[in-house]
Amino acid sequence: MSCVYFAPSKIEEALVLMQTHFPTVVAGGTDIFPAQGTTPMRRSLLDVSRIDGMTGIDRQADGSWRIGAATCWTDIVTADLPPGFAGLQAAGREVGSLQIRNAGTIGGNICNASPAADGVPPLLTLEAEVEIACAGATRMVPLSDFLTGVRQTTLGSDEILVAVHIPAPPPDSVGRFEKLGGRSYLVISITMTATLIGLDEHGCINLARIAVGACSPVARRLAQLETDLIGQRPDQVVVLPAHLKTLSPISDVRADAVYRAEAVAEQIKRAVCKAAIPHD
Amino acid sequence: MTEQTVNAPCGFRLNGHDVEIQPGPGERLSSALRERLAARDVKVGCDAGDCGACTILVDGDPVCACLMPVQQVAGRQVETLTGLIADDPVAARLAHSFEAHGAAQCGICTPGMMVAAVALLRGNDTPSEAEVSEALGGVLCRCTGYRKIIEAVMAAGAPPALPVSDGWTGAAIARLDGRDKVTGVEAFGDDVAPADALVLRVIRSPFHRAGFEFDDLDVWLAGMPGIDAVLTAADIRGKNCFGVIPDFVDQPVFAEQECRFRGEAVAAIVGNRDAIDDFDVTKFPVNWQERPAVMNVADAMSGQAALLHQDRAGNVMCTGFVTCGSPETALAQADATVQGQFTTSFVEHAYIEPEAGFAIVRNGRLEIYACTQAPVMDLEGLEEILGMDRKDIRVVPTGVGGGFGSKIDLSVQPYLALAALKTGKPVRIAYSRSESMQSTTKRHPAEITMTIGAMADGRLRGAQFHGLFNTGAYASWGPTVANRVPVHASGPYQLADYRAEASGIHTHCPPSGAFRGFGVPQAAVAQESLFDELADKLGIDRLEFRILNALENGMPTVCGQVFETGVGIKPCLTALRPAWQTERRAAEDFNQANAGIKRGVGIAAGWYGCGNTSLPNPSTIKSGIRPDGTVVLHQGATDIGQGANTVITQIFAQALGVPVSAVQRIGGDTDVTPDAGKTSASRQTFVSGNAARLSGETLRRQVLKLVNAAPDSAIFIAEGVIRISDGQQTHTPDLSGLSADRDGYVIRAEESYDPPTKPLDANGQGVPYAQFGYAAHLAVVEVDLALGTVRPVKFVAAHDVGHAINPLLVEGQVQGGIAQGLGMALMEEYIPGRTENLHDYLIPTIGDVPPIETLIIEEPDAHGPYGAKGLGEHVLIPTAPAVLNAIRDAADVRITHLPATPARVRAKLREAANG
């Protein structure tokens, strides 16, 4: 089969091409090319970076936010967003390097479905949904349902992830993100934690959403912990092993499983504690 | 063919000019810029966004060109370093600042660094260190340790003037070959091939150990349009064997019957670029039979393991040995002893330039252009492999984008040579990052057991050292490691009773070879860690314990060698006293104020014998003067970024008595420049420096003789005229009247220097080196007790260089060495088959290297040029143990398994907490 590079400007055109040519979608290229190595690229590519409506961050009439899937991390990091997005923006600042953030996109980060995707834990705390399109149809799927395993999603072969939809974060909630890696910059997480925390007038937690990445095939919210955090003071939270039992950390070149479990408990405490610190 | 298969034209602006190309669908922008548009200032280090060397600006924003489909820049502005230098005053000032600060060493990362920095500086001409770090965090540098890059970018708004001087030894002049590096002009291994060169790709074993058989390769080739030739062991007319130590030449160019490590070559294909790019190497017609492999020394020595080499029983390659006095008795008599076991990992050199080059047959002679640390050794190796006379081979070193020991060995050269000879056409190759990591040498993983004793007064009393070094499948420089380690494992201390044994053990791992320090850094981890424990046990200050036991002039080393002058370890250690006291107090204050993060201060020392161990190690330096008065220096000491081009010229210029600006350099082309030996073992400043001094002195005598001028006369060279003044009279000899030799010189000098050493006897007693360099490091770190993360805060490094030929370059070596030592201590672990890229194998980024204060100690050496000593390896020897000692000081845990990753540190903390 001969290979073609498509760079349509209309989503409708792109969706037809998906059905006729089965191309691989490329946005920032920051995952496709490293995975390719020196193996010949024997696939057609469909570049979504020039499709109308697939880039940019917009507030919708209902107060929710829509981030085009081909929006690069730099644009997310530098956007003027409410404090609830601070965790997402902090995660964005930890994505690779400036060069990677200038090219790599939020949609690519999701579709690549790495257990260590920096963007996923904060999006889970924001209860993001993804807008999936195929020719003639669009579906909205919670991100937590879209990601099904290591490098696995429910994206059909003729579908494109068009946008990420984020409901308005609860008023006064603050997002935080903690990443632990083996060095500064350009580093794959050993563990990471995103939090979205709200405090009542006494400084006690009245909203808690906690998501952990790189400790399970897909980043996960910690439901029991979220429940138990309500009413606690952010600088005094207790994370018990039972709170982490839905995680399944592995041992690999970056760290062993025991360490991951230990580190993530500490990260959660730190991220929650930082929620009480005014947004920087 | 449908209309859609035609690659659409893609137009964009490149450095201010409209260009249009027809890229393929999956073509990387980096490849298109380099191969279609000749923008070879865009460097490719990894093809994965891990190194940032290919950083360019697209509409002003830095991106990795290796990750961008070409079509994405259609209609956009692309800027690369050469364009920026030409058009943007910000870049021009930055280039100047890079030169003045010594921010470029090998120069391979420099285009990426500078392009990223220009993007920052355009919006912010006085960036903070944090802003520089953030902007350059995506570009890896393996030479500089980043500190001078940070300084250069911060000062780019108003760069300092380059110092104007004659540039003689002691002057901190900017490197003489720096301009090309900061303007993107320097040509590295993959930058020199003609546009029509065929491309070579090597077929490698995917298994650690495997038998293999080919299908009918002739039949296969006949069905492969665009592929001109297949190479295998059958194409080798000489010996299918190479190596660097005469008795240990054991590595095949192409494996025969069995591969002994993952990444070993079995064949290569040569063809046009499109055909090679389109070929999937997993489709090569070879059938593999995977076999059980031994991956560590314990398994290799178990007795059950198959022998990798039939003549090496127990898979023991060789063993080095040094002993003096009665170590067992001494240890029994010692008031206190400490013992420890230490494990270190494979460390990858991770130069940002993968091996690359091209070969061509010209007028019946083979010419090889490649990045190398040792052009003459390459030539000698090729002579054997090709079965050709050496006069028919020419090796021309290209710019070398980092070496650190691995580019001493042959890599691409034999494949290029065989391919050019077989096809009769120019052939090029550039290793991919994973190919480079799989197939080239590594630092030896070590398993070390050491026992050290001392008396209650703090005097050392006996030491025993036993080290097993995983030398991989082939010998490479393993014998050197085995021999060098026992000589150095005492550290630079007085030890009258000592026994050290180090063995190289074969495994089915990549060959371990030369890497900055040749095993000494691993040994220093054991010895210097135990010194802290011993000092603590005796209740003696850790620094004072070392000072008390430091070697001094007139005292024998463990090899019985006595230096009457130049033993500089005590001055290095005492130079650290003020920082040791200040930083310890600061750490105490810090620790009182912080519960979760603890600060610690560590010190360690090291020494390094410069040049080959007890073996001849000559360098030859030729120079000449042309009839027009031009002074030419044939500088064959390969500059891999460390600065030999500058240092050797400084020494030569001083000896001749002219400014460095009057000296024209010719590089290490084996056709025109004599052998200055390999760039290794910290030998170039010392050995080639001495040859350059002798060459300059001889040339000077001949110049003065022309007019019978007094020896202290001054020589002036200007506008093609040489003037000689003895203070009263000025002579202007007519050079044009003299007959020129075949090189065009009317006066010439060619001098050699070989360091005076003597063989070691059965007990390792003798004169292994003519000189040692000495070093002591102080490291301050912070340990996060809950996460086990270690953050280096500061280093103070004292180095005895005898005489600092160029203090700016000395600082650059120190900072770069510390960055590598820090990586070895905290994050670097090569695992064959698992960490074959620069995102799983981590090296320090700009955010990981803290400020480094360099204290230059000058205890003149009896033999070195103007007293100078080698420096290249003792810059990293004390770093890892200093960091480990700082971790122990901070958190009271001893890390004995390198690297000290957060998980390993945390495991020790957990163990300590659980009693």
pLDDT tens by residue, B426-450 = 999 999 999 999 999 999 999 999 9
Per-residue pLDDT, averaged over B122-146, amounts to 97
pLDDT of residue B504: 98
Per-residue pLDDT, averaged over B163-176, amounts to 92
Task: Check CB contact of B71 with chain A, cutoff 8 Å.
Answer: yes
Per-residue pLDDT, averaged over B700-715, amounts to 95
- Answer whether residue B339 is part of any domain: no
B855 forms bridges with which residues in the sheet? B798
pLDDT of residue B237: 96
Q: What is the DSSP string of B797-808?
A: EEEE-SS-S-HH
A180 forms bridges with which residues in the sheet? A191
The answer to whether residues B858 and B67 touch, using CB atoms and an 8 Å cutoff, is no
DSSP code for B66: G
Between chains, do A99 and B138 touch, taking CB under 8 Å as contact?
Answer: yes
3-state class of B435 per DSSP?
helix
Chain B 254-313, residues with CB within 8 Å of chain A CB atoms: 277-282
pLDDT of residue B104: 98
Return the number of other C-beta atoms located less than 10 Å from residue B413's C-beta. Answer: 28
Contacts of B849 by beta carbon, 8 Å cutoff, 6+ apart = B145, B146, B147, B792, B815, B818, B819, B822
B780 forms bridges with which residues in the sheet? B601, B794
Dihedral of the CA atoms B218, B250, B281, B220 (nearest 10)? 10
Per-residue pLDDT, averaged over A82-87, amounts to 96
Q: What is the pTM of this model?
A: 0.97
- Answer whether residue B782 is part of any domain: yes
- Percentage of residues in chain A having pLDDT higher than 70: 99
Q: Give yes or no: residues B858 and B884 share one domain.
A: yes
Task: Check CB contact of B903 with chain A, cutoff 8 Å.
Answer: yes
Q: Give yes or no: residues B628 and B601 share one domain.
A: no
H or E element that contains B72? none
Chain A to chain B Cβ contacts (< 8 Å): 175
Window from B156-165, B193-202, B714-723 with minimum mean pLDDT? B156-165
Per-residue pLDDT, averaged over B615-642, amounts to 96
pLDDT-derived band of residue B345, with 50, 70 and 90 as boundaries?
very high
- Answer whether residue B382 is part of any domain: yes
Q: Give yes or no: residues B827 and B856 share one domain.
A: yes
Between chains, do A184 and B281 touch, taking CB under 8 Å as contact?
Answer: no
Tokens of B165: 């001087």
- Quote the CA–CA distance of B706 and B546 in Å, as a whole number: 55
On chain B, the residues whose CB falls within 8 A of the CB of A8 are: none
CATH number of domain containing B425: 3.30.365.10
- Answer whether residue B333 is part of any domain: no
CA–chain centroid gap for A208, Å, is 18
Over the stretch B316-327, which tens digit does the pLDDT of each residue have? 999 999 999 999
> Mean pLDDT, chain B, as a whole number?
97
pLDDT of residue A36: 92
Q: Give yes or no: residues B379 and B414 share one domain.
A: yes
Residue B222 pLDDT exceeds 70: yes
Q: Which sequence spans correspond to the domains of chain A?
A: 173-276
Last-in-domain residue among B151, B169, B187: B169
**Residue whose C-alpha is closest to residue B403's, from B166, B188, B686, B714:** B188
3-state class of B82 per DSSP?
helix
B665 forms bridges with which residues in the sheet? B633
Task: Check CB contact of B786 with chain A, cutoff 8 Å.
Answer: yes
Q: How far from B399 is each of B356, B599, B704, CA to CA, in Å?
A: 10, 42, 36
3-state class of B882 per DSSP?
helix
- Answer whether residue B602 is part of any domain: yes
Query: Any idea what the Cα angle at residue B754 is, between residues B750 and B755, rounded to 5°?
Result: 145
Task: Check CB contact of B898 with chain A, cutoff 8 Å.
Answer: no
B453 forms bridges with which residues in the sheet? B337
Packing angle, helices B413-423 and B375-386, rounded to 10: 50
Q: Give yes or no: residues B532 and B639 share one domain.
A: no
Task: Check CB contact of B787 with chain A, cutoff 8 Å.
Answer: yes
B6 CA to chain A: closest CA distance, Å?
8
On chain B, the residues whose CB falls within 8 A of the CB of A40 are: 26, 277-280
- Percentage of residues in chain B having pLDDT higher than 70: 99
pLDDT of residue B5: 41
Q: What is the DSSP string of B766-782?
A: SB--S-EEEEEEEEEEE
pLDDT of residue A279: 53
Q: Give yes or no: residues B817 and B838 share one domain.
A: yes
Q: Give yes or no: residues B592 and B657 share one domain.
A: no
H or E element that contains B498? strand B498-506
Tokens of B245: 């130590």
Last-in-domain residue among B696, B728, B753: B753
Tokens of A54: 């697939």
Residue B177 pLDDT exceeds 80: yes
Between chains, do A185 and B52 touch, taking CB under 8 Å as contact?
Answer: no
Q: Which residue has the higher pLDDT, B1 or A6?
A: A6
Tokens of A272: 């929650």
Between chains, do A40 and B26 touch, taking CB under 8 Å as contact?
Answer: yes
DSSP code for B246: G
3-state class of B348 per DSSP?
strand
Per-residue pLDDT, averaged over B706-731, amounts to 91
> How many helices (H) does chain A have, and how many strands (E)?
10, 14
Q: Give yes or no: residues B52 and B116 share one domain.
A: yes
pLDDT-derived band of residue B23, with 50, 70 and 90 as boundaries?
very high
> Which residue on chain B is closest to A75 by alpha carbon?
B61
Q: Report the side by side order of strands in the sheet with B721-725.
A: B714-718, B721-725, B730-731
A22 CA to chain B: closest CA distance, Å?
14
pLDDT-derived band of residue B718, with 50, 70 and 90 as boundaries?
confident
Chain B 857-896, residues with CB within 8 Å of chain A CB atoms: none
Tokens of B404: 């650190």
B4, B67, B835: residue with CB nearest A29: B67
pLDDT of residue B2: 34
- Provide the domain count of chain B: 4
B774 CA to chain A: closest CA distance, Å?
30
Which amino acid is it at A177?
F
In which domain, by residue range, is B140 found? Answer: 1-169
Over the stretch A230-242, which tens digit does the pLDDT of each residue have? 999 999 999 999 9
- Answer whether residue B308 is part of any domain: no
Tokens of B752: 């050699």
Instruction: State residue A217 phi and psi, 5-degree precision.
Output: -55, -35
Tokens of B223: 């069905």
The answer to whether residues B266 and B257 touch, using CB atoms and an 8 Å cutoff, is no
Which amino acid is it at B307?
L
Q: Give yes or no: residues B857 and B900 share one domain.
A: yes
pLDDT-derived band of residue B4, with 50, 70 and 90 as boundaries?
very low
The answer to whether residues B710 and B726 touch, using CB atoms and an 8 Å cutoff, is yes
Instruction: State residue B448 phi and psi, 5-degree precision.
Output: -120, 135
Q: What is the DSSP string of A36-48?
A: HTTS---S-EEE-
- Quote the CA–CA distance of B17 and B531 in Å, as a whole number: 63
Q: Which site among A185, A191, A266 would you substitute to test the B interface, given the most B Cβ atoms closer than 10 Å to its Cβ?
A: A185
> Which residue on chain A is closest to B7 by alpha carbon?
A4
- Quote the CA–CA distance of A144 and A124 in Å, as a whole number: 7
Return the number of other C-beta atoms located less than 10 Å from residue B715's C-beta. Answer: 18
Q: Give yes or no: residues B95 and B228 share one domain.
A: no
Q: Which site among B42, B64, B120, B429 would you substitute to test the A interface, given the most A Cβ atoms closer than 10 Å to its Cβ?
A: B64
Last-in-domain residue among B439, B456, B488: B439
Residue B720 pLDDT exceeds 90: no
On chain B, the residues whose CB falls within 8 A of the CB of A102 are: 58, 61-63
Per-residue pLDDT, averaged over B393-416, amounts to 98
CATH superfamily of A173-276: CO dehydrogenase flavoprotein, C-terminal domain (3.30.390.50)
- Answer whether residue B7 is part of any domain: yes
B693 CA to chain A: closest CA distance, Å?
44
Q: Is B140 exposed, middle or buried (0-12, 13-18, 19+ CB in 10 A)?
A: buried
Q: What is the CA radius of gyration of chain B?
A: 27
pLDDT of residue B474: 98
Between chains, do A100 and B839 touch, taking CB under 8 Å as contact?
Answer: no
Instruction: State residue B185 phi and psi, 5-degree precision.
Output: -90, -25
Between chains, do B4 and A263 touch, taking CB under 8 Å as contact?
Answer: no
Between chains, do A30 and B67 touch, taking CB under 8 Å as contact?
Answer: yes
Q: Give yes or no: residues B734 and B780 share one domain.
A: no
pLDDT of residue A42: 87
- Percentage of residues in chain B having pLDDT higher than 90: 96
On chain A, the residues whose CB falls within 8 A of the CB of B906 are: 259, 262-263
